[in-house]
């Protein structure tokens, strides 16, 4: 399988613009985050994501909100939005010319025909779910080794898999799948710039998560598991997490760091550490949204503002702290 020297844009952002406005060099930002200069270059070009803690560090360093770091139609100049969109469209055309859409559609047809899920094939091919999903969407090139692993996951010899995809293409079987993938790609691509959560269709095999949350008089978030506010697409890192859930940012007790429309994704099985954002359960339904910190003795505690409040934890409290693992702005 021919490879192309092209990385996928996964993180459209305005970090470079804000960094330059403050007269900061790439090396200064790299040193602050503890990453290489090459990594900063990829981040600013949109080829690499930042994790939650790194995003907060960048926002604090260049003195802006998290929302300001993302490219979207609400807070970005129109020429910036259009430039990112044009680049995505250019790469989409390159993928189409490289036959990746046909490959992805063929893999999807064969997988579903065998009654396999995305997760099963991804795991057996030694890939993350997000990577394999992008392959089936026709948005990622595949190395020879990856092709071999996918064929093995589908219980087919490599040459037989190639021949089957070629036959499906010549028979016109893949046209509807390619059209479906293109529609999904445009929708997902559009949502990146509008900063809204995009529902994933059921037949895309991406689970939905319930969203909870209402604010009480103290600025706490009330979690009523019997009455979700809505549902949103489950992030790939939570696909196999049965107890994962999401909450609305219905409190200003963390200040203006996050926009009010943010959706916070929660994994209660993850261990929190200093720098995380988390929900601290003070009762079965009442939670405090906190920034986790560490004192000079290595003891974790929680902070929130408006007004300032510190919450000290004992070791037995750690099970009451549910980590925020992703944020949809």
Expressed as residue numbers, the domain containing 282 is: 207-328
Mean pLDDT score, 156-171: 90
CA-to-CA separations, 60 to 30, 94, 256, in angstroms, rounded: 14, 37, 12
Q: Which of the listed residues 143, 168, 194 is the one where a domain comes to its end?
A: 194
Boundary residue ending a domain (172, 194, 216) = 194
Q: Which helix (H) or strand (E) holds 281?
A: strand 277-281
Contact 102, 137 (CB under 8 A): no
Residue 324 lies in a domain: yes
Lowest mean pLDDT among 28-32, 46-50, 180-184: 180-184
104: domain CATH number is 1.10.260.40
pLDDT digits (tens, 9 = 90+) for 1-28: 434 344 555 667 788 888 887 888 889 8
pLDDT in tens, 255-306: 655 666 788 999 998 888 877 889 999 999 999 999 888 888 778 899 888 7
Tell me what percent of the residues of the chain surpass a pLDDT of 90: 18
For residue 19, the model assigns a pLDDT of 86
Instruction: Give a yes or no: residue 2 inside a domain.
Output: no
What CA–CA distance (Å, rounded) separates 247 from 155?
A: 40
Instruction: Let me know if residue 68 belongs to a domain.
Output: no
* CATH for 237: 2.10.109.10
Claim to verify: residue 180 and residue 212 sit in the same structural domain: no
Mean pLDDT value across residues 34-49: 84
Write down the mean pLDDT value for the chain: 78
98 has a pLDDT exceeding 70: no
What domain count does the chain have?
2
Assigned domain for 40 exists:
no
């Amino acid at each position: 399988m021919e490879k192309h020297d092209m990385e996928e844009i996964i993180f459209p952002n305005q970090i470079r613009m804000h960094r330059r406005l403050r007269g900061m060099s790439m090396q200064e930002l790299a040193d602050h985050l503890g990453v290489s200069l090459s990594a900063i270059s990829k981040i600013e070009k949109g080829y690499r994501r930042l994790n939650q803690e790194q995003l907060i560090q960048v926002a604090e360093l260049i003195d802006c909100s998290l929302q300001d770091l993302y490219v979207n139609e609400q807070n970005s100049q129109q020429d910036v939005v259009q430039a990112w969109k044009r680049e995505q469209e250019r790469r989409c055309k390159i993928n189409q010319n490289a036959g990746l859409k046909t490959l992805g559609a063929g893999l999807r047809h064969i997988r579903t025909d065998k009654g396999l899920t995305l997760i099963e094939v991804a795991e057996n091919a030694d890939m993350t779910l997000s990577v394999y999903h992008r392959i089936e969407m026709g948005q990622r090139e595949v190395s020879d080794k990856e092709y071999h692993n996918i064929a093995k996951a589908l219980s087919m010899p490599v040459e037989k898999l190639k021949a089957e995809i070629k036959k499906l293409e010549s028979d016109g079987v893949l046209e509807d799948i390619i059209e479906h993938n293109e529609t999904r790609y445009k929708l997902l691509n559009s949502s990146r710039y509008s900063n809204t959560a995009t529902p994933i269709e059921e037949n895309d095999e991406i689970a939905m998560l319930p969203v909870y949350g209402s604010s009480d008089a103290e600025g706490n978030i009330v979690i009523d598991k019997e009455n979700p506010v809505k549902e949103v697409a489950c992030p790939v890192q939570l696909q196999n997490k049965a107890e994962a859930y999401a909450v609305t940012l219905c409190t200003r007790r963390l200040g203006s760091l996050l926009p009010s429309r943010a959706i916070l994704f929660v994994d209660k099985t993850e261990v929190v550490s200093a720098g995380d954002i988390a929900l601290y359960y003070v009762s079965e339904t009442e939670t405090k949204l906190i920034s986790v910190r560490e004192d000079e003795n290595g003891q974790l505690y929680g902070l929130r503002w408006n007004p300032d409040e510190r919450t000290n934890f004992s070791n037995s409290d750690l099970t009451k702290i549910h980590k925020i693992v992703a944020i949809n702005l």
